[in-house]
Chain A
Amino acid sequence: MNKLNIPMAAGWLPALALLVAATGCSITERSRELGNPAVPGVATAQQVCSTCHGVDGNSTSPQFPKLAGQQKDYLVSQLKNFRGHDRLDPPGPEYMWGLSHNLSDEQVEAIAEYFNAQPPMRPNGANSEAVGAGMQIYRQGIPEKEVPPCQSCHGPDGQGLAGFPRLAGQHANYVLRQLHVFQETNFRPGTPMAQVTHLLTAEQMKDVALFLQAFPAAQ
Chain B
Amino acid sequence: MSRLGWIWRSMPGALALAALLAVVSPAHAIPAFARQTGQNCVSCHAGGQYPELTPYGRLFKMTGYTIGQRATVPAAIMVEGSMASMKNTAAVNNSLTNNTGAGLPTPVDSGTPVADVASLFLGGKITNNFGAFAQYTWDFHGAADDAGNNTKTHGSADNMDFRFADHIITPSQDFIYGLSLNNNPSVSDPWNTSWAWAQYVPASGGIGANSFLDAAAPYPGSGLPGDLYAGLTAYAYWQKTIYAELGVYHTAKGLFHFFNANNDPTASVLHGSNNPYWRLAYTRDWGAHSLMVGTEGMYAHPYDTTNGVDYGDVQSYQSVKSIGIDSQYQYLLDPHTVTAQVMLQHQTQYPSFLDANINGTVPATVTTFRAKGSYVYRAFVGGAAAIFNASGDPSIATRGAMLEAFVLPVQNIRVGLQYTMFSRLPGVDHPSDANTLFFYVWAAY
- Partner-contacting stretch, out of B4-12, B148-156, B165-173: B165-173
Please pick, from A11, A22, A31, A35, the residue contacting B273 in the complex, using a CB distance under 8 A. Answer: A11
CB contact list, B213-227 vs A, under 8 A: none
Given contacts A23-B127, A177-B334, contact A55 B286 (CB under 8 A): no
Contact in complex: B37, A99 (CB < 8 Å): yes
CB contact list, B178-201 vs A, under 8 A: 179, 181
Please pick, from B34, B40, B162, B288, the residue contacting A19 in the complex, using a CB distance under 8 A. Answer: B162
Query: Contacts A32-B63, A94-B42 given; 4 further ones with Cβ under 8 A?
Result: A26-B128, A27-B128, A32-B125, A46-B169
Q: Which residues of B contact A (CB under 8 A)?
A: 34, 37-40, 42-43, 55-56, 59-60, 63, 66-70, 125-130, 162, 164, 166-171, 174, 179, 181, 230, 232, 248, 250, 253-255, 271-274, 285-288, 301, 314, 332-334
Q: Which residue of B lies closest to A12 (CB)?
A: B232
Contact in complex: B287, A61 (CB < 8 Å): yes
CB contact list, A161-198 vs B, under 8 A: 173, 177
Task: Pick from B39, B128, B271, B274 the residue with the most CB of A within 10 Å.
Answer: B128
A101 at the interface (CB under 8 A from B): yes
Given contacts A15-B232, A90-B334, A98-B38, contact A34 B285 (CB under 8 A): no
Contact in complex: A15, B179 (CB < 8 Å): yes
Give every chain B residue within 8 A of A93 (Cβ-Cβ): 40
Give every chain A residue within 8 A of B253 (Cβ-Cβ): 8
How far is it, in angstroms, between the C-alpha of A78 and the C-alpha of B181 when the chains are bound? 40
Q: Count the A residues whose beta carbon is within 8 Å of the partner chain — how many? A: 50
Give every chain A residue within 8 A of B56 (Cβ-Cβ): 51-52
Q: Which residue of B lies closest to A61 (CB)?
A: B288
Give every chain B residue within 8 A of A55 (Cβ-Cβ): 169-171, 174
Please pick, from A2, A56, A95, the residue contacting B39 in the complex, using a CB distance under 8 A. Answer: A95
A interface secondary structure, majority: helix
How far is it, in angstroms, between the C-alpha of A34 and the C-alpha of B288 when the chains are bound? 27
Give every chain B residue within 8 A of A177 (Cβ-Cβ): 334
Give every chain A residue within 8 A of B254 (Cβ-Cβ): 8-9
Interface membership of chain A positions 97-117, coded 1 if the CB is closer than 8 angstroms to chain B and 0 otherwise: 111011000000000000000
Contact in complex: A2, B274 (CB < 8 Å): yes
Contact in complex: A61, B285 (CB < 8 Å): yes
Q: Which residue of A lies closest to B65 (CB)?
A: A32
Task: Pick from A27, A28, A98 the residue with the most CB of B within 10 Å.
Answer: A98
Question: Considering the complex of A and B, which 8 residue pairs feature the smallest CB-CB distances, nearest first?
Answer: A98-B38, A5-B272, A26-B128, A35-B69, A22-B164, A94-B40, A32-B67, A4-B274
Q: Which residue of A lies closest to B37 (CB)?
A: A98
Q: Which residue of B lies closest to A39 (CB)?
A: B128
A18 at the interface (CB under 8 A from B): yes
Contact in complex: A94, B43 (CB < 8 Å): yes
Contact in complex: B334, A30 (CB < 8 Å): no
